[in-house]
Amino acid sequence: MASPQAAAIDRLFDSFITAMTADPGMSLDTLRDLFGQCGDLAAEPGGVDYLEADADGIPCLWAVPKGCREDRVLLSAHGGGCVTGDRFTHRKLFAHIAKQVGCRALIVDYGRAPEQQHPTQVSDCLKAYEWLLGQGIKPAHIATVGDSAGGNLCTAVVLAARDKKLPLPAALMPMSPWYDMEGLGASMTTNAKVDRLVTPAVSGSMVQMYIGKTSPKDPLVNPLYADCKGLPPIYIQVGGYEALLDDSLRFTERAKAAGVDCHCDVYPEMQHVFQFMAGRAPEADDAIAKLAAWVKPHLGLA
């Protein structure tokens, strides 16, 4: 049974739906302000400094826990359908993860849709990755992490790096990844009554803003169509109540079939990116502790 504290995300997502229903023509700025409230769910992690950075022209934010290993980095991609969210809305989420891991997180503020469509988002994350390599960070000391659309991007950036024949990072950690640009997962229907946020209408609208004229089967927008062979180890977390649950399950199956070390944890009764509640809900804290415990050996921190 979900903890009483976990109801906070239910209430927030319900308020989003109420607001969008009351204002069907909601402006993009208002939508971004609305979804930006997700970042308010987390408690301040404490003991973390935030530093602005420019990664080859891409604005980023460093989350630097006190006493951390600065030669290890979590390349972090925020969620929000590639339409909402930024380095500030997600700073606490990624700071909690970085603090548990004991390394820095570089939160990439990639160009957002619809002003900038695919491939901008993947290209910006790839630029940030190459910038890290240029700063002397070893690929074996980098892991990618992201939530929702950021879970997609933290996967796609590794696919893009492989296509460019760059050395690959040590590991990937997608949280509630939004992979399927076609919306074909069975959980879009089976979890329709329990997911408090994601619907075919919401997902479909963001798909159009994000991919534009790109095929929804393009592997760099829909990793379900990617050749996973040779990818680093992957640890996925997803909520059991998510409409996007099958995105994670299907990708896990594809990755395992390609010989990739890929594991997916399904958290019963949890909503989309429940990790937002870091420092306030036990489910979120447990998930982040497991992410950290899993990735530390891959980064040489165990």
CATH number of the domain where residue 94 is located: 3.40.50.1820
For the segment 36-58, the average pLDDT, to the nearest whole number, is: 98
Cα(18)–Cα(197) distance, integer angstroms = 11
Question: How many domains does the chain contain in total?
Answer: 1
pLDDT at 31 over 90: yes
Half-sphere exposure of 222 (CA within 13 A, CB side): 17
Angle separating helix axes 28-35 and 7-22, nearest 10 degrees: 170
Q: Which domain holds residue 200?
A: 44-298
Q: Tokens standing for 47?
A: 């003991």
User: Is the residue at 4 inside a domain?
Assistant: no
147, amino acid identity: D
User: Is the residue at 93 inside a domain?
Assistant: yes
Closest to 272 measured CA to CA, from 204, 195, 206: 195
pLDDT digit string, tens, across residues 58-113: 999 999 999 999 999 999 999 999 999 999 999 999 999 999 999 999 999 999 99
Active-site residue (options: 148, 187, 203, 248): 148
pLDDT digit string, tens, across residues 199-219: 999 999 999 999 999 999 999
Cα(156)–Cα(162) distance, integer angstroms = 10
DSSP code of 67? T
User: Is the residue at 224 inside a domain?
Assistant: yes
- Interior CA angle at 163 toward 161 and 169, to 5°? 30
Strand partners, 103: 69
Beta-strand relationship, 103-108 and 234-239: unpaired
Active-site residue (options: 76, 187, 203, 242): 242
Are 245 and 238 a contacting pair, CB within 8 Å? yes
pLDDT at 292 over 90: yes
pLDDT digit string, tens, across residues 121-131: 999 999 999 99
pLDDT at 12 over 90: yes
Strand ranges across the sheet with 142-147: 48-55, 58-65, 103-108, 69-77, 142-147, 171-175, 234-239, 262-267
User: Is the residue at 149 inside a domain?
Assistant: yes
C-alpha separations of 32 from 26, 38, 203, 257 in Å: 10, 11, 15, 38
User: Is the residue at 16 inside a domain?
Assistant: no
Could you tell me which residues come within 8 angstroms of residue 24 by beta carbon, excluding any fewer than 6 positions away? none
pLDDT score at 302: 80
Mean residue pLDDT across the chain:
98
Cα(243)–Cα(193) distance, integer angstroms = 9
User: Is the residue at 135 inside a domain?
Assistant: yes
pLDDT at 275 over 90: yes
Cα(51)–Cα(64) distance, integer angstroms = 8
For the segment 142-169, the average pLDDT, to the nearest whole number, is: 98
Active site residue 148: yes
User: Is the residue at 32 inside a domain?
Assistant: no
pLDDT digit string, tens, across residues 227-265: 999 999 999 999 999 999 999 999 999 999 999 999 999
User: Is the residue at 13 inside a domain?
Assistant: no
Cα(290)–Cα(287) distance, integer angstroms = 5
Active site residue 242: yes
